[in-house]
A = this chain, B = another copy of it.
Amino acid sequence: MGFQTVYREKVDYINQGLAFLLSQRESHPTILDAIRYSLQAGGKRLRPILFLSAYELALGDCSKAQPPTLKQDPILSMSCAIEMIHTYSLIHDDLPAMDNDDYRRGKLTNHKVYGEATAILAGDGLLNLAYEVMLESLPADPNKQFGYLKAMKVIAHSAGISGMIGGQSADIENQGVNSDESMLSFIHTHKTEALITGALKAGVLACREDKEVLEAVSGYGKAFGLAFQITDDILDLMGDLNQLGKAPGSDERKGKLTYPAKYGLKKSQIMASQYIEEAVSLLQPFGSKSEFLISLAESILVRNR
């Protein structure tokens, strides 16, 4: 199967998982609507796909592991939880007090539709829901839980103040400030790369604790995450509203510290290519098992959203 077909299958799996997990919830209708709106707005599902693919890479030698199903499955729940965490961060990021964006994934942002108060709660609710679904899906037999708990710890750490939220905080504080390269690097390794690498490491740990695979996906995630952030910055500068699903040029308007602003467009493009090359080289030793993750990395360089 070609890369696009496999990607599409994984997206379908995650979308079905999200719909399934939401269908099991009872709550006040407004907050459920607001959550569903942003969660089902058609994201790329990149982070859960990285989680699933790392799980599959480790699974190559993991005879005990079962393929994920659509019912109380920790792999399904963890991949959906990662997307919930990512989506909550977008909802809060778009708020007027943060980036004040009107469009996201080609649709009005959550607060534009539901108002700021509900958008704040929808974000809170999604973050909490991520942990609810992960905890609820753990197998009853404690001896089968250990890898999953390690994976959950990595996800939690990468999403928190030592990871993504720490990066967001630095990002906000450095808007309109001519900060140095080390700050740009801090922001991007935390804001974007932490959850990407976290998803990959969690995928491996959910299957088995294999040092070699863990090290490879960590290096891959680091390079992938930086390349992804650079292409994100470039798209924000050059992209098209229709393809991008959000207004381009917003980083510049906010005085954000970006790669093109710091290094220029040409050098940024070269840096992204170099990072992807590095990411690919780290997975080549795994042969055909790593084919999908290699193609995924290469696809970042030609992304248009």
Tell whether A211 is near chain B: CB-to-CB under 8 Å.
no
Please provide the chain A residues from 154 to 176 with a CB less than 8 Å away from any CB of chain B in the complex.
156-157, 159-162, 165-170, 172-173
Residues of B within 8 A of A143 (CB): 142-143
Question: What per-residue 1/0 map shows which CB atoms of A21-59 lie under 8 Å from chain B?
Answer: 000011110111001000000000000000000000000
Which residues A122-139 have CB closer than 8 A to chain B?
Answer: 123-125, 127-129, 131-132, 135-136, 138
Q: How far is the CA of A207 from the CA of B116 in the complex (A)?
A: 40
Q: Which of A125, A145, A152, A159 has the most CB of B within 10 A?
A: A125
Are B166 and A27 touching (Cβ within 8 A)? Answer: yes
Contact of A146 with B by CB under 8 A: yes
The CA of A9 and the CA of B173, in the complex, are separated in Å by 39
| A16 CA / B174 CA spacing, docked (Å) | 33
Task: Tell me the dominant secondary structure on chain A's binding face.
Answer: helix
Shortest beta-carbon distance from A144 to chain B in Å: 8
Partner of A31, one of B145, B146, B161: B161
Which of A90-98, A102-110, A231-239, A266-274 contacts the other chain?
Answer: A90-98
A265, CB-defined interface residue at 8 Å:
no
Given A25-B162, A129-B161, verify A168-B138 contact (CB < 8 Å): no
Please indicate the chain B residues that have their CB under 8 angstroms from the CB of A129 in the complex. Answer: 160-161
> Is the pair A160, B128 in contact by a Cβ cutoff of 8 Å?
yes
A118 at interface (Cβ–Cβ under 8 A)?
A: yes
Q: Which of B25, B123, B135, B167 contacts A124 (CB 8 A)?
A: B123
What is A's interface to B at a CB cutoff of 8 Å? Answer: 25-28, 30-32, 35, 88-89, 92, 95-98, 115-118, 120-121, 123-125, 127-129, 131-132, 135-136, 138, 142-143, 145-146, 149, 152-153, 156-157, 159-162, 165-170, 172-173, 186, 190
